[in-house]
Amino acid sequence: DQQVKQNSPSLSVQEGRISILNCDYTNSMFDYFLWYKKYPAEGPTFLISISSIKDKNEDGRFTVFLNKSAKHLSLHIVPSQPGDSAVYFCAAKDNNDMRFGAGTRLTVKP
Amino acid sequence: DSGVTQTPKHLITATGQRVTLRCSPRSGDLSVYWYQQSLDQGLQFLIQYYNGEERAKGNILERFSAQQFPDLHSELNLSSLELGDSALYFCASSSRAGFQETQYFGPGTRLLVL
């Protein structure tokens, strides 16, 4: 039962352009959403989060947008840099559970 | 470096065996979470402990168990191992109990069951 879905397994963008990673969820009880970045051989690293009471949260080059009616969130990275190349996981929480998407592998080409 | 340590880094064992994975949370963090990342299932939440007590349970099999000790380190015990248990096991820690807290992940233990 996949409550959090990342439908694009991979994304390739040119350095300096915008990267947009998407995530959909089905459980309306989720009230907090996060994005994690994962490099090979390392654990996931927290990137940015958003509460369900907001529709946008920005941190430097990273912005997360939440559309509750569509049960959709997205992560925008602008400008993209080669060091951003990693697997990105979205995650959704309620009080007692946390679900992750399958991840999207982002490749930023120089 | 997240401050969360996991040992061992790699583990190779045979079906039917039992293994113990260890996690030390960041200094001051009271919550420990265990996750399994397998090729076909992605990252899955297994179980959470807060200050020694089980706090939340996810998709953890009955063959698996965990505990958190007074010094706050945690162990995940996997028994009667099957080939499908081969995966990367992460632990994460946070300062408080709620899932709203940011979790900091360790580097993982890669388990291979032959």
* Least confident window among A37-46, A99-108, B59-68: A37-46
Q: Please give the backbone phi and psi of residue A41, each rounded to the nearest 5 degrees, phi first.
A: 65, 15
Q: Beta strand B109-113 with B10-13: parallel, antiparallel or unpaired?
A: parallel
- Residue pLDDT, tens place only, A21-48: 999 999 999 999 999 999 887 888 989 9
How far is CA B83 from each of CA B38, B76, B113, rounded to the nearest angstrom? 11, 18, 5
What distance in Å separates the CA atoms of residue B14 and residue B88, rounded to the nearest whole number? 16
CB-based burial label for A107 (10 Å; 0-12, 13-18, 19+): middle
pLDDT at A95: 72
Nearest CB neighbour to B42, from listed A46, A93, A101: A101
| Residues in A touching B106 (Cβ below 8 Å) | 43
What's the confidence (pLDDT) of residue B43?
Answer: 84
Size of the A and B interface in Cβ pairs below 8 Å: 52
Q: Could you give the CA distance from residue B80 to residue A10 in angstroms, rounded to a whole number?
A: 35
More confident residue, A41 or B64: B64
- Give residue-wise pLDDT tens across range B17-40: 999 999 999 999 999 999 999 876
Say yes or no for a CB contact (<8 Å) between A98 and B108: no
Please judge whether B33 and A102 are an interchain contact, meaning their C-beta atoms are less than 8 angstroms apart. no
Q: Report the 10 Å Cβ neighbour count for B40.
A: 7
Beta carbons of A56 and A50 less than 8 angstroms apart = yes
B2–A45 C-beta distance less than 8 A: yes
